[in-house]
């Protein structure tokens, strides 16, 4: 697919003063949720960890769940409608909270290490 594809949205996740990660949101996974998130870019918020397997950022995005799942693979990106968080899976996870799968981290996942006070920024790729 081309970079200008309507079904795939290329984004960059930056951990303030540290690493950057390439993200790919896929519209076919959850059209309403991916559309809402893509219209909210750029996003910035405090980075958090859920155990050692999920990094996430809180957002003000309000949208319901869509095609909810509880099984996620390393590299998956999901949206947790309950609190508006975008979650990045560092390893395979069976979640107790159903989430909407929205895409994948396509580069640099192994460097995703979050410390208290870190800030995540999500921008359009190439900006």
| Contact of 61 with 37, CB cutoff 8 Å | yes
Residue 5 pLDDT more than 60? no
- Give the range of the structural domain holding residue 56, as residue numbers without chain letter: 8-124
Q: Say which CATH number the domain at 14 has.
A: 2.40.100.20
H-helix or E-strand spanning residue 127: none
> Is 17 within the bounds of a domain?
yes
- Write out pLDDT tens, residues 57-113: 999 999 999 999 999 999 999 999 999 999 999 999 999 999 999 999 998 888 888
How far apart (Å, rounded) are the C-alpha atoms in residues 122 and 69? Answer: 23
How many structural domains does the chain have? 1
| Residue 20 resides in a domain | yes
Q: Report yes or no on 38 lying in a domain.
A: yes
pTM of this structure: 0.91
To the nearest whole percent, how much of the chain has pLDDT over 70?
94
């Amino acid at each position: 697919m081309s970079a200008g594809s309507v079904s795939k949205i290329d984004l960059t996740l930056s951990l303030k003063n540290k690493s950057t990660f390439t993200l790919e949101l896929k519209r076919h996974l959850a059209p309403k949720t991916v559309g809402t998130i893509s219209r909210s870019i750029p996003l910035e918020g405090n980075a958090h960890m859920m155990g050692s397997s999920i990094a996430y950022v809180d957002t003000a995005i309000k949208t319901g769940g869509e095609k909810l799942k509880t099984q996620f693979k390393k590299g998956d990106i999901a949206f947790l409608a309950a609190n508006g968080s975008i979650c990045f899976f560092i390893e395979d996870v069976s979640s107790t909270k159903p989430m909407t799968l929205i895409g994948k981290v396509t580069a640099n996942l192994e460097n995703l290490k979050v410390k208290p006070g870190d800030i995540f920024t999500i921008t359009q790729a190439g900006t």
